[in-house]
Amino acid sequence: KNEVEQSPQNLTAQEGEFITINCSYSVGISALHWLQQHPGGGIVSLFMLSSGKKKHGRLIATINIQEKHSSLHITASHPRDSAVYICAVRSGGNQFYFGTGTSLTVIP
C-alpha cells in the first residue's frame, strides 16, 4: 500500500468547472506539498501546508491533520490548468512520499 493515495487518477473537466483532487496519507507528516507537473516534465511547487487552508489565485488547498487528508481545489478551471497534480508529504525526517498524481485535462 502506498503511503500517499490520490484520487481521481484521471479527471476531465469543461472549462469553468470547479475541480477537486483528493489526497490521503498514512504516515506522520511535517508538511504536505501540492505539486504541478506539465508535459515535458517540469515540476513546480504550488503549496506547502501544515494546517488549515491556503489560497493562491484560483487554487485552494486544505488539509485535515486529524483525518490525514488534503484537497486541492481549482475554481473556474481553464485549459492551461491541464497538468498532472501530485500530492507529496514530508515526514519529520525530511523524507518525501509522493502520490502517483492526478492527470487533469480541461476542455475549452
Partner 1 sequence: EAGVTQSPTHLIKTRGQQVTLRCSPISGHTSVYWYQQALGLGLQFLLWYDEGEERNRGNFPPRFSGRQFPNYSSELNVNALELEDSALYLCASLSRSWATIYFGEGSWLTVV
Work out which of 18, 26, 27, 43 binds partner 1, going by CB under 8 A: 43
Q: How many chain residues touch partner 1 (CB under 8 A)?
A: 23
How do the residues of the chain divide into helix, strand and coil, expressed in percent and rounded to 5? 5, 60, 40
- The answer to the question of residue 41 lying near partner 1 (CB under 8 A) is yes
Pick one of 1, 39, 42, 66: the residue that binds partner 1 (CB under 8 A). Answer: 42
Binding partner 1 (rule: CB under 8 A), the pick from 7, 26, 45, 51 is 45
Count of residues making up the chain:
108
- CA–CA distance, 7 with 22 (Å, rounded to integer): 5
Query: CA 54 to CA 72: how far, in whole Å?
Result: 10
Quick check: 103 and 8 in contact, CB under 8 A?
no
Site track 51-70 with partner 1 (rule: CB under 8 A), x = hit: --------------------
Binding positions for partner 1, rule: CB under 8 A: 30-31, 33, 35, 40-45, 48, 86, 88, 90, 93-101
